[in-house]
Structure 1
């Protein structure tokens, strides 16, 4: 599992919503890739060109003001479907900065940085809280010329010709992210089924194979798409429209795709570093993990 710490002092509210694809909990991609390919409206390889932020508007008593992150990809390769904007697509994710000193991070939703190169399995852009199939499982990172899961596990091609996960790599690309004006660092607790490798990385026992290159992975995905969809089916897919940071968005919690669980019951344990941070976390808990809090506990609402 993983949580987020800060490189600069900032209150981070982590909303645990039970998405598939939480760090360390991926299904092996052997069968999952077929499901990802089947369910995706659009599959692309591209680079993050721009990141913008917006807030939902509150127009009714049952609505909340929450932040959204708008991630624009320059598309280098299309493996399924098409983007309405042609060579780019902007995806909208729940979570992001609230002012200068608060951040809402949604557990299981990836974080992005300008320059990231990824293969994305897109579904429900503009209508889902996370517009990727199985959320974090629908993002594969291209680091250098090799492929990794969202949280840094190698994507291997095993001797049977099927993709599996190998070692987890810990580096700045995977574990450090800028959200608004703040820099976050992922704090990883190894899963019980992983072991420590000699170089300090973690790996899944029993998984061996060739680390898939970018070209090998996209070729594999393209082949799976063509095997599982007829040319007529692929041609009939509607183009995926981009989300816009200037759009008017409302948010009703469970009706927008979040489970109706008590956020206090599922909130992760966050260790405060000092008395002031402890007061902030206690205030956040009293407010049922609604991140819209005063900067200092007991101060006026903003």
Structure 2
């Protein structure tokens, strides 16, 4: 994916390069069962608000880091529930800072008001991205199609797993507003993909049924009712990001081989000429 900055500097990343998109099997490298199992909450909803703010400096070694707050109005729960019932605010690392720069992190989804999605949530308020698998736990829902976060078709294989197909031709160039600045994201797709004969491209209705069936295969209604509500993160809640510290190299115990003269056979000590 190529990113053209229209009116801002990119903070801490080199994004002028072109990354060739390749076909990836099974969303984030896991199967559907793992996606369902790893999520604290799976819901369908519409983005109703996007806000930005930087982390707080609460200790001497804290750093100021931009974050994005995305609020969804939930229309359906597949697994779990939100602590705010029909609303949930997700916090993501990245966004505009206080000096005119913008932090964009590869693998962290971008959002705008009006987006209709099915989202797999885990570790909201703790993880850099609360979407399971970075951006692979976000599925874009339209009237007649389902796409990945990167605008690839979603297919169902005969083994019951999801797969990502061709890119949406209309989304090869997408302009996205982050704060007051706009960025154009261009997809350069050189990978060829042909769906297996027994695969089926999913419609939103089919995807919802598939997801509901997947959840019911792993959880009884009673188990679902006892799940702890996924936390919605208040925009103005104080939080801090500590400065990254270098990790010490793991200690390696030296291996010492002692020479036992009595264990050496004479033939092992001989110098052989060939």
Q: TM-score, normalised by structure 1?
A: 0.72
- Give the 3 Å change call, closer, same or farther, for CA 52–130 of structure 1 in structure 2: same
Preserved contact between residue 93 and residue 109 of structure 1 (Cα < 8 Å):
yes
Partner of residue 165, structure 1: 164
CA–CA distance in 1 between the matches of 2:48 and 2:224? 27
1:46 to 1:58, Cα distance in 2 relative to 1, 3 A: same
1:211 is matched with 201
Residues 73 and 90 of structure 1 are in contact (CA less than 8 Å); yes or no, is this contact kept in structure 2?
Answer: yes
Partner residue in 2 for 1:115: 114
Match of 1:234 among 213, 217, 224: 224
Gaps of 5+ in 2: 15-19, 248-274
Report the counterpart of residue 92 of structure 2 in structure 1.
Answer: 93
User: Partners in 2 of 1:73 and 1:149 — Cα distance?
Assistant: 18
Q: Distance in 2 between matches of 1:206 and 1:164?
A: 9
Residues 188 and 125 (structure 1), Cα distance of their counterparts in 2 relative to 1, 3 Å cut: same
CA contact (8 A) 1:125 1:241 kept: yes
Q: Which residue of 2 is the match for residue 139 of structure 1?
A: 138
| SS class of match (1:175) | strand
Task: Give yes or no for the alignment of 1:81 onto 2:77.
Answer: no
Match of 2:212 in 1: 222
Residue 81 of structure 1, CA deviation: 0.3
Between the aligned partners of 1:222 and 1:253, the Cα distance in structure 2 is 41
Deviations 1:40-71 (A, max 9, x none): 00000001000011110123343210111000
Q: Deviations over 1:216-249 (max 9, x none)?
A: 1111111111101223321211111211111111
Question: Is the 8 Å Cα contact of residues 177 and 185 (structure 1) preserved in structure 2?
Answer: yes
Pair 247,224 (structure 1): closer, same or farther in 2 beyond 3 Å? same
Distance 1:14 1:158, change over 3 A: farther
SS in 2 for 1:106: coil
With over 3 angstroms needed to count, the CA separation of the structure-2 counterparts of 1:240 and 1:103, relative to structure 1, is same
- CA deviation after TM superposition for structure 1 residue 158, in Å: 3.6
Distance in 1 between residues matched to 2:173 and 2:144, nearest whole Å: 15
- In the alignment, what sits opposite 2:68? 69
The whole-number CA distance in structure 2 between the counterparts of 1:66 and 1:25 is 33
* CA distance in 1: counterparts of 2:71 and 2:21, whole angstroms: 23
Following superposition, the deviation at residue 102 of structure 1 comes to: 1.5
TM-fit CA distance, 1:82: 0.7
Whose helix proportion is higher, 1 or 2? 1
Counterpart of 2:7? 9
Provide the TM-score with structure 2 as the length reference: 0.79
Match of 1:128, SS state, is coil
Name the residue aligned to 2:104. 105
Contact 1:121 1:132 in 2 (8 A): yes
1:112 alignment partner, SS class: coil
- The structure 1 residue matched to 2:239, chosen from 227, 245, 249, is 249
Instruction: Determine if the alignment matches structure 1 residue 28 to structure 2 residue 18.
Output: no
CA deviation digits over 1:272-300, x for unaligned, max 9? xxxxxxxxxxxxxxxxxxxxxxxxxxxxx
Q: Answer with 1 or 2: which has the greater Rg.
A: 2
Q: For structure 1, which runs of at least 5 residues remain unmatched after alignment?
A: 17-21, 196-203, 261-302
Q: Using the alignment, how far apart are the partners of 2:230 and 2:224 within structure 1?
A: 13
Deviation at residue 186 of structure 1 after TM alignment:
1.2
CA gap 1:206/1:215 in 2 versus in 1, 3 angstroms: closer
In structure 2, do the counterparts of structure 1 residues 14 and 212 end up closer, same or farther at CA, with 3 Å as the change threshold? farther
Number of aligned residues: 240
RMSD: 2.6
Distance in 1 between residues matched to 2:236 and 2:86, nearest whole Å: 20
